[in-house]
Chain A
Amino acid sequence: MLPDFPETKRLFSRVFQTYMRQKIRQISPYSAIQTRFLHEGRSMKVVRADQTESASNMVQLSSALEIRMDEIEDLTLKKVLEKHDALIIDIAQKQTHFIRERMGSEIPDSQSVDAKGRKLDASLLIEVFEKMQIEFNPDGTPQEIHVDGPLFAPEMLSAIEEEFERSPELKKRWDDMMEKKKEDWHAREADRKLVG
């Protein structure tokens, strides 16, 4: 073989891996979701309080990174990172697609809303929130809710906000719904007890 410098290259390799991991988290719409490593086993199962179960298996997401031989001579660190950036976008897209697909198949009908072609407006948003279980902080403010998907573009959300401002009736529906959600949360929290 020709002379090589594997020890230092391994250090670079680690840097690239860390870079990819951090960058994927930065751009992923699901970056706020906690990551958990599985140290053993291939399958996952959630057993809920009502004894219902959801099982899932591991899925491998992969993407190819290509460097042509004729590129090598003029490679710089900047160019290498740019190549990784392309891969990061691809992986993040695949991950997002996978999560959306999995959520679509796992969420029961009772928690889904079929808009039947209607565009997202204040009324539909209320309908969506009515289906959701919302958690609150001890001070009574709702916990942060993340929205995902092209439907929830910032301009769309601004338009809905304006719609609420224009219509006291819609605003009241929203407030009443949130008040009900808070009561539900209080009831759930009061329900956390060991009895008998």
Chain B
Amino acid sequence: MLERLIENWLDNAGERSYQRCFCQMLVGQGYRVIHNTEHTPLEHGKDVIAVAPDGRVIGYQLKGNPGRSLTPSQFGEIRGQLEQLATYALGIPGYEKAIPDECYLVTNGEIDEAVSIEIQRLNAGLEARGHSPEKIKTITRGTLLEWANSLGLSLWPSEMKDFGNLIKILNCQGDETFPADIFDSLLQHTLQMQESVKAPELRRRITSAGVMTAMALHSFSARKNYFAEITAWSMFSSYVISACEKNGVDYNKNGAEAVQTARQAIYSLLGHICSEIAEKGSPVDRGRLAEGDPFSEFAFYRPRALLIYALMVVYWVWSEAEGWGDPEHKNVVEGLIPEHLPPQSIWGEGAIPHLLAFIWYRKRISPSPVHDEFTGLVLRDIQRNKLGPANHLPSPYYTIEDVVRHNNSHLLGCEDPFGGDGFEGTSYVCESIMMCLVRAGQKEVCQELWPSFTRINHERVIPDEPWRFGLFRTGEEASNETKIYPRTMEWKDLQSLMNEAEGIDLPEALKADYVLLLLFMVIFPFRASFSAVKYIHKKFDRPISKEE
């Protein structure tokens, strides 16, 4: 049954979605992917470049022909690109002058016999020009299926419940929020998070989870639901990091390559969001962040806008640190993120990581005391809300969809997702915002806000082991801590408390990859714990230095 599922997926997968699976499978075979790009006009067919375990450099050009054969006319369109791939220097950092030792035309369909003859002729021409014989080879549907079966499927969880969960994800329409709760269970079982796993088996399981991630995204990729794809690959990355740390396995040797490949996919997907926004209009066009049925947008537009600003901040920070994949995107992002947020942008505590990303971005590109003043106003508003009589902001465990359903449960005839949960006088985020103000030296603002701050119960979830932080839910292995601050406190004591770097309850590899950490917190706001925000604040809340 699983074989049939994977076959069905491959026969319907577009080039973009099977490329990510293909890269994970290369990594699973010991290859190091040194270049992985989704089509841009500048790439000349150079989709994936990998270094084989024996050190040979291999170039791959991928073609999406689901359920069909590559015809001579289609081959004619890519023939020049293939020849360039086989003969041109790569121009990739570290491999500037290298020419691939072997090249592959990869398709998830079949190759027409006439095309095989064309490739033989192309190879003969290359050989005559001094290249190795049969320099261009092919990988077709059969090989991809064989790889997927041996590298992926054999380690998938075989329980019926898991099978049902996989079917549930595959049956998604693709335009909805990615079902992280269902995927969590599949990833946990594939990576055997409840058991002890040795390094060689964990490596195989990581590849298997990578293949499953690509496949689980089938409907979402088809609908170009980039945020869903980002969510899934971010989960894959954090779970791989957690699995390595849990098993005491060297992450750099066993998991980093797979995560790096997932990171490349995430970066491309952020770029796709940016391109889509650019296509939808110029920065002055209002409403360009709308999606789907416009009549229901009254409930979702602003929360979505804030989420997109946060995602674009991640993209901006990432690109500034590692180089812009598309240099034109820098202007798009900087034109998109507004100087000020509209009022009532905070729909719940789940919006706070988005808001912090926004503030940190503004502080970096145009340092001004205004940003810290805004932070103070945010804390004041949340504290007033929490100590007020009604409509308390929900905890970060509730999404915007939960909030909208709660507010309109009678109208929509749906269950109230809050189900009696209360939020009065408690907060998961006020400590983090207070920390930002203290570190910014906003002593007077802190003094003004302090009385209300001490009236609030500050909630924290502390995982029993740091690796559990990387999961969608820690399970029972965490402690819920309520912190009550003393009524009177010395400013210097508060400063020293807030200046601790913290992050002791975070997996080491996630701490080292602070861009991924920020993204993880944007996607799963309940992971923006006081400890995590204290740690990440030091990386992001600063103006751009002259060296940058």
Contacts and interface: CB of A to CB of B under 8 A. Distances in A.
A41 B451 contact: no
A36 B474 contact: no
Interface string A27-61: 00000001111111111111111100000000000
Interface residues of A, number: 29
Nearest to A49: B486
Interface in A1-39: 14, 18, 21, 25, 34-39
A43 B476 CA distance: 8
Contact of B488 (A25, A37, A40, A192): A192
Interface string A156-196: 00000000000000000000000000000000110111111
A195 B490 CA distance: 5
B54 interface: no
B478 A42 contact: yes
A144 B492 CA distance: 37
Contact of B479 (A39, A41, A194): A41
Contacts of A40: 461, 473-475, 478, 480, 526
B488 A191 contact: yes
Contact of B482 (A37, A45, A193): A45
A46 B485 CA distance: 11
Nearest to A24: B420
A14 B415 contact: yes
B107 interface: no
Contacts of B419: 21, 37
A21 B418 CA distance: 13
Contacts of B481: 44-47
Interface string A57-87: 0000000000000000000000000000000
A195 B488 contact: yes
Nearest to A33: B422
A21 B443 CA distance: 45
Contacts of B421: 35-37
Contacts of B451: 189, 192-193
Interface residues of B, number: 41
A192 B488 CA distance: 5
A35 B526 CA distance: 19
B441 to A, nearest CB: 13
B63 to A, nearest CB: 44
A38 to B, nearest CB: 5
B198 interface: no
A42 B477 contact: yes
B221 interface: no
B479 A44 contact: yes
A143 to B, nearest CB: 12
A37 B422 CA distance: 8
Contacts of A37: 397, 419, 421
Given A36-B426, A42-B478, A194 B487 contact: no
A192 B424 contact: no
B422 A39 contact: no
Nearest to B485: A49
Given A40-B478, A196-B491, A46 B450 contact: no
Contact of B487 (A21, A46, A47, A192): A192
Contact of B450 (A39, A45, A47, A193): A193
B504 interface: no
A48 B454 CA distance: 11
A158 to B, nearest CB: 30
B391 interface: no
Nearest to A58: B476
Given A37-B421, A192-B451, A196-B490, A46 B482 contact: yes
Given A34-B424, A39-B397, A44 B490 contact: no
A47 B481 CA distance: 7
Nearest to B462: A41
Contact of B447 (A35, A45, A48, A194): A194
A47 B490 contact: no
Contacts of A41: 461-462, 474, 476-480
B420 A25 contact: yes
Interface string B46-86: 00000000000000000000000000000000000000000
A45 B488 contact: no
A93 to B, nearest CB: 20
Interface string B442-463: 0100110011001100000110
A196 B484 CA distance: 20
Contacts of A50: 486
Q: Which of B397, B462, B480, B481 has the most CB of A within 10 A?
A: B480
Interface of B: 395, 397, 415, 419-422, 424-426, 443, 446-447, 450-451, 454-455, 461-462, 473-492, 494, 526
12 contacts: A34-B425, A35-B421, A39-B473, A40-B473, A42-B478, A43-B478, A43-B480, A46-B484, A47-B482, A48-B484, A192-B487, A192-B488
Enumerate the 6 nearest inter-chain pairs by beta-carbon distance, A residue then B residue, closest first.
Answer: A41-B478, A192-B451, A49-B486, A34-B422, A42-B476, A194-B450
Given A39-B473, A45-B479, A45-B480, 18 more contacts: A35-B421, A36-B421, A37-B397, A38-B480, A40-B475, A40-B480, A43-B480, A45-B481, A191-B488, A192-B455, A193-B451, A194-B447, A194-B488, A194-B491, A194-B494, A195-B489, A195-B491, A196-B492
Interface of A: 14, 18, 21, 25, 34-50, 188-189, 191-196
